[in-house]
C-alpha cells in the first residue's frame, strides 16, 4: 500500500495524463489515445499508481465471501501486545526479545516527542499514538508495552527493521507523508530498547534533477526498507516514491551520517521509443512525462492485470547482502546483483502472466528467498476482487476547456441498474453512506430505482468539483457511452438540468463529459464496464536454479482467496495474501482475514498448508477491536515464535505445534 504517494504525485500525475491523452499543454508532446488508453489510464494511472489500492486499504471497502478452508489450526497464541486502533497497525519486526510494529495512515504523525538531532529519546506512553509501538517480548506469554517511538509530524511509519550492524543494534523506520510531512527514514540505536537514541533523519529525493526542480520531486516517502551488511560496511535498501530510481541504497556505516549510494528503477529496462535513454539525467520535461506515462503507468503499451502499474512496492536482500529482490508490481519480481551497492545490476525478471495467478494479475507485493537462494516465495496483493461493486476510481477528465460540468464514477453494478431502467429516475449526487463507507453517493429519490444509493468517486481534472458546486439533482438519464462515434441514447428524453449516466469505454472521459455538457447536463456519472469479479491475490514460488532464468514452480491460494463469491467467508473480509518470510523449508504468510498461514515448501513445486491461525466470532472481534486483518509477519531465525501484526488488534505472538496439537486457549504453553 502506498498511501503516501497521493499528495506528492498530484501535479506531475495530472500533467502526465494531460500529455498522454493529447490535451492542451504548451509545447508538449501529444500522444493520441488508442481504443484502450482511456481504460488503462483511468484504472491505474491518474495521480498515483496505487490510489485505488490504498483507498481500499484505508477504507476496508472491499467485501468478500467464501468458505473458510478446513485446515488444522495448529498455531496457538502465546502472547498479545494489544493495540486497539482500527486499521492502524502495519508491519512487525522482532529482534532479541523486542517487537516493533508500525502505524498506518491514521493516526497520522503528530511530531510529539520527536527530535531531529542526535540524542536519547523518550517514548510516548500511548499505544494508540502514531510512531513505532515497542513491546518487550522476552516473556512471549506476557508482552509488555514499552512505549511508542515518536513520529515525524505529518508522516506515518509503515515499515520498521532492526538488525545487528557494525555500529551496533540499528533500527530504521520509514516515513511517508500522511498530512504533508517529511518522507525518508529515521535511524535509532537500540542496544538498550528501553533507552533509544536517535542517530539521524534522512530525506530522500528523485535522482532526476529536472523532476526535483520542476515538480518538487524531493523529500519523497519511503514505504518499505531492508537492512543489510557487506563486511565492515552497512546499508539500507528501500522502496521510495521517486518516479525514477525508486529502489535506493544508502550507506549506514556511520549511522549518524547516512550517505546516498545508488538508485535503480525498472524504468531502466524500458527500450521503447518513448523512453529516455538516460532517465536519471534527462532534462526534457516532455520526454520525462512520456517515459512516466509509457512505462510507469502502462498507458502507451500493453501491461498486465487490472491495475497495470509498474511501481516498486517492497525489497528483500539476501543474507550475504549481494542480491536484492524487488517486488515491482506489474513489472514482476526483479533480481538485482548488489554486490557492488554503488552499481546495482539487473539479473532477471520473474514474470509469468498466464500461469502466475488465477486471473492474470501480477501485483508483485513482497518476496523472500530460501536460505540458499534457489527458491523465492512471492506474494501477489490483489484488492480488486469484487470490482463489479466497487465505484470507478483513479480516473481523470484531464485539463480541457470543455470540462464544464462535475464528473463522477459509479460501479458496474450501479451502471447495470441504470442501463436496465434508463429514464424516470430522479437522482441526487450528495454525501451519503454505503457499505463502502461515507462519501459521495448517487441517490435515487424516485422512479423505478427509488431507494437505491450507489457509492461514487469524483474524477480528477479541471471540471467543477463537488466541494464547490455542492449536491446535484435531476433526472438520471442513460445516454450510452457518449463517445463521438456513438449515438446518444434517450436524447429525446433528456432535458437541460438532467444528469447524464454513461458507460465507460471506447473514448476518453473528457469526450464523454463534453457530449453530456452539450446536451445541457448538470453533471455526468460514468459507470464502470468491468463485469467479471476476480480472485484475490495468492502466492507464487519461483525456481532460481538458473538465476538469470527463473521458472514458476507453483502457485498457492486459500479457498477464500480463490473464490470471492463462495458462501461462508465473512463478507467483510479481505482475502488477499500480504507479506511473507521463509525459513527452513517453510513459508510464513500474513493473509489478512485468512489470518496467518504456514506452507511446507520443502517441495516448492507442491506447497502444502500445514498450519493456520484464523480466529472469528464476536468474542474474538471484541478482543481484537474488529475482524481478523493480519498485515505483517516475522520470525526470528531458529526460534519457534511467530510475530503477527493485526491492523485492528496490534501484536500477536504465535507458536507452531505439530499437526492437530494446538488447542484454543492453551496460551501456547
**Residue-wise pLDDT tens digits, 47-72:** 222 333 333 332 222 222 223 334 45
543: helix, strand or coil: strand
Residue 349: which of 544, 550, 542 has the closest Cα?
A: 550
Residue 333 and residue 366: Cα distance in Å, rounded?
9
- Please say whether the beta carbons of 316 and 325 come within 8 A: yes
Indicate the pLDDT class of residue 106, thresholds 50, 70 and 90: confident
Distances (CA, A) of 143 to 5, 533, 626: 34, 41, 21
| Contacts with 308 (C-beta within 8 Å, 6 or more apart), sequence order | 40, 43, 44, 45, 297, 298, 330
Dihedral Cα 52, 361, 592, 410, nearest 10 deg: 30
**Which pTM was predicted?**
0.78
How does strand 472-480 pair with strand 499-503? Answer: parallel
| Contacts with 433 (C-beta within 8 Å, 6 or more apart), sequence order | 441, 453
User: Looking at the chain, how many residues does it have?
Assistant: 669
Query: How far is Cα of residue 578 from the mean position of the Cα atoms in its chain?
Result: 10
How does strand 375-380 pair with strand 499-503? Answer: unpaired
Indicate the pLDDT class of residue 665, thresholds 50, 70 and 90: very low
Inform me whether the pLDDT recorded for 149 exceeds 70.
yes
Residue 169 and residue 162: Cα distance in Å, rounded?
7
Residue 509 parent element (H or E): helix 509-519
| Contacts with 470 (C-beta within 8 Å, 6 or more apart), sequence order | none
Give the count of beta carbons closer than 10 Å to the beta carbon of residue 562.
17
The strand ranges marked E within 140-209 are 144-149, 155-156, 160-165, 168-177, 184-189, 197-202
DSSP per-residue letters across 293-343:
IIIIS-SSS---TTT------EEEE-TTS-EEEEE-BTT-EEEEE-SSTTS
Query: How far is Cα of residue 170 from the mean position of the Cα atoms in its chain?
Result: 27
Residue 416 and residue 15: Cα distance in Å, rounded?
33
Inform me whether the pLDDT recorded for 77 exceeds 90.
yes
Least confident of 369-383, 425-439, 461-475, 630-644: 425-439
Q: What is the mean pLDDT of residues 642-649?
A: 96
Residue 534 and residue 244: Cα distance in Å, rounded?
31
Q: What is the mean pLDDT of residues 124-128?
A: 96
Distances (CA, A) of 223 to 171, 384, 397, 398: 15, 21, 29, 28
Residue 623 parent element (H or E): helix 618-624
Residue 593, pLDDT score = 93
DSSP state of 292: I
Angle at 587 between CA 563 and CA 594, to 5 degrees: 35
- Please say whether the beta carbons of 151 and 170 come within 8 A: no
- Please say whether the beta carbons of 143 and 94 come within 8 A: no
Least confident of 290-304, 457-471, 599-613: 290-304
Inform me whether the pLDDT recorded for 297 exceeds 80.
no
Question: What is the gyration radius of the CA atoms in the chain, in angstroms?
Answer: 25
Residue 605 and residue 237: Cα distance in Å, rounded?
30
More confident residue, 411 or 27: 411
Dihedral Cα 479, 483, 488, 494, nearest 10 deg: 50
pLDDT tens figures, 79-91? 999 999 988 999 9
DSSP state of 68: P
Residue 67 and residue 569: Cα distance in Å, rounded?
4
- Please say whether the beta carbons of 412 and 388 come within 8 A: yes
Residue 306 and residue 507: Cα distance in Å, rounded?
18
Phi-psi region of 51 (alpha: psi -120 to 50; beta: other; left: phi over 0): alpha
Inform me whether the pLDDT recorded for 349 exceeds 50.
yes
Residue 306, pLDDT score = 63
- Please say whether the beta carbons of 127 and 133 come within 8 A: yes
Residue 658, pLDDT score = 62
Distances (CA, A) of 58 to 51, 126, 184, 382, 662: 10, 22, 21, 14, 33
Residue 390, pLDDT score = 81
Share of the chain above pLDDT 90, in %: 67
How does strand 608-613 pair with strand 314-317? Answer: unpaired
Give the count of beta carbons closer than 10 Å to the beta carbon of residue 122.
12
Residue 40 and residue 59: Cα distance in Å, rounded?
24
Distances (CA, A) of 424 to 53, 55, 447, 520, 601: 35, 33, 5, 17, 59
Give the count of beta carbons closer than 10 Å to the beta carbon of residue 66.
26
More confident residue, 331 or 659: 331
- Please say whether the beta carbons of 180 and 4 come within 8 A: no
For the chain, which domains are there?
Answer: 75-386+533-656 (2.130.10.10), 387-532 (no CATH)
Inform me whether the pLDDT recorded for 108 exceeds 80.
yes
DSSP state of 17: H
Amino acid at each position: 500500500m502506498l498511501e503516501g504517494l497521493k499528495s506528492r504525485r498530484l501535479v506531475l500525475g495530472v500533467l502526465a495524463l494531460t500529455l498522454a491523452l493529447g490535451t492542451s499543454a504548451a509545447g508538449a508532446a501529444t500522444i493520441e489515445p488508442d481504443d484502450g488508453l482511456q481504460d488503462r489510464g483511468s484504472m491505474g494511472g491518474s495521480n498515483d499508481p496505487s490510489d485505488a489500492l490504498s483507498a481500499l486499504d484505508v477504507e476496508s471497502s472491499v467485501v468478500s465471501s467464501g468458505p473458510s478452508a478446513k485446515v488444522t489450526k495448529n498455531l496457538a497464541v502465546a502472547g498479545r501486545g494489544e493495540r486497539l486502533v482500527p486499521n492502524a497497525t502495519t508491519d512487525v519486526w522482532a529482534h532479541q526479545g523486542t517487537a516493533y510494529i508500525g502505524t498506518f495512515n491514521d493516526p497520522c504523525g503528530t511530531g510529539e516527542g520527536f527530535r531531529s538531532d542526535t540524542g536519547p529519546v523518550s517514548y510516548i506512553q500511548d499505544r494508540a499514538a502514531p510512531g513505532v509501538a515497542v513491546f518487550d517480548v522476552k516473556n512471549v506469554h506476557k508482552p509488555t508495552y514499552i512505549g511508542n517511538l515518536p513520529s515525524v509530524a505529518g508522516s506515518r511509519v509503515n515499515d520498521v527493521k532492526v538488525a545487528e550492524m557494525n555500529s551496533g543494534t540499528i533500527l530504521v523506520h520509514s516515513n511517508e507523508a500522511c498530512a504533508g510531512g517529511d518522507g525518508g527514514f529515521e535511524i535509532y540505536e537500540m542496544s538498550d530498547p528501553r533507552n533509544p537514541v536517535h542517530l539521524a533523519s534522512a530525506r530522500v529525493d528523485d535522482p532526476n534533477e529536472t523532476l526535483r526542480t520542476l515538480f518538487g520531486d524531493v523529500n519523497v516517502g519511503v514505504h518499505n526498507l531492508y537492512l543489510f551488511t557487506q563486511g565492515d560496511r552497512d546499508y539500507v535498501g528501500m522502496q521510495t516514491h521517486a518516479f525514477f530510481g525508486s529502489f535506493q541504497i544508502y550507506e549506514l556505516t556511520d549511522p549518524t551520517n547516512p550517505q546516498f549510494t545508488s538508485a535503480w528503477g525498472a524504468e531502466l529496462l524500458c527500450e521503447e521509443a518513448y523512453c529516455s535513454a538516460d532517465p536519471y539525467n534527462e532534462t526534457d520535461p516532455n520526454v520525462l512525462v512520456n517515459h512516466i506515462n509509457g512505462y510507469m503507468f502502462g498507458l502507451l503499451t500493453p501491461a498486465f492485470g487490472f491495475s497495470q502499474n509498474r511501481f516498486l512496492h517492497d525489497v528483500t536482500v539476501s543474507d550475504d547482502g549481494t542480491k536484492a529482490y524487488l517486488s515491482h508490481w506489474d513489472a514482476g519480481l526483479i533480481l538485482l546483483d548488489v554486490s557492488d551497492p554503488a552499481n546495482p545490476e539487473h539479473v532477471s525478471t520473474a514474470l509469468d502472466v498466464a500461469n502466475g495467478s488465477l486471473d492474470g494479475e501480477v501485483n508483485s507485493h513482497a518476496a523472500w528467498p530460501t536460505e540458499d537462494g534457489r527458491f523465492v516465495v512471492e506474494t501477489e496483493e490483489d484488492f480488486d476482487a469484487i470490482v463489479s461493486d466497487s465505484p470507478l476510481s483513479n480516473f481523470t477528465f484531464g485539463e480541457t476547456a470543455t470540462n464544464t460540468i462535475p464528473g463522477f464514477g459509479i460501479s458496474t453494478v450501479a451502471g447495470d441498474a441504470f442501463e436496465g431502467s434508463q429514464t424516470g429516475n430522479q437522482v441526487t449526487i450528495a454525501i451519503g453512506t454505503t457499505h463502502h463507507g461515507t462519501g459521495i453517493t448517487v441517490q435515487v429519490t424516485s422512479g423505478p430505482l427509488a431507494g437505491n444509493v450507489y457509492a461514487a468517486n469524483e474524477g480528477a481534472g479541471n471540471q467543477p468539483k463537488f466541494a464547490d458546486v455542492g449536491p446535484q439533482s435531476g433526472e438520471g438519464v442513460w445516454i450510452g457511452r457518449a463517445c463521438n462515434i456513438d449515438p446518444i441514447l434517450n436524447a429525446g428524453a433528456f432535458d437541460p438540468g438532467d444528469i447524464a449516466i454513461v458507460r465507460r469505454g471506447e473514448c476518453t472521459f473528457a469526450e464523454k463529459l463534453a457530449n453530456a455538457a452539450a446536451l445541457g447536463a448538470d453533471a455526468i456519472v460514468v459507470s464502470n464496464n468491468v463485469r467479471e469479479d476476480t480472485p484475490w491475490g495468492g502466492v507464487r514460488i519461483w525456481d532460481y536454479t538458473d538465476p538469470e532464468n527463473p521458472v514458476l514452480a507453483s502457485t498457492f491460494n486459500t479457498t477464500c482467496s480463490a473464490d470471492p463469491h463462495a458462501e461462508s467467508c465473512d463478507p467483510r473480509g479481505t482475502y488477499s495474501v500480504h507479506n511473507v518470510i521463509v525459513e527452513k523449508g517453510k513459508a510464513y504468510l500474513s493473509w489478512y482475514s485468512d489470518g496467518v498461514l504456514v506452507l511446507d515448501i520443502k517441495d516448492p513445486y507442491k506447497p502444502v498448508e500445514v498450519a493456520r491461525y484464523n480466529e472469528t466470532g464476536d468474542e474474538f472481534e471484541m478482543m481484537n477491536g474488529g475482524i481478523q486483518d493480519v498485515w505483517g509477519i516475522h520470525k526470528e531465525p531458529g526460534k519457534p515464535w511467530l510475530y503477527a501484526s493485526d491492523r485492528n488488534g496490534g501484536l500477536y505472538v504465535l507458536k507452531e505445534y505439530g499437526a492437530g496439537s494446538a488447542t484454543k486457549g492453551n496460551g501456547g504453553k
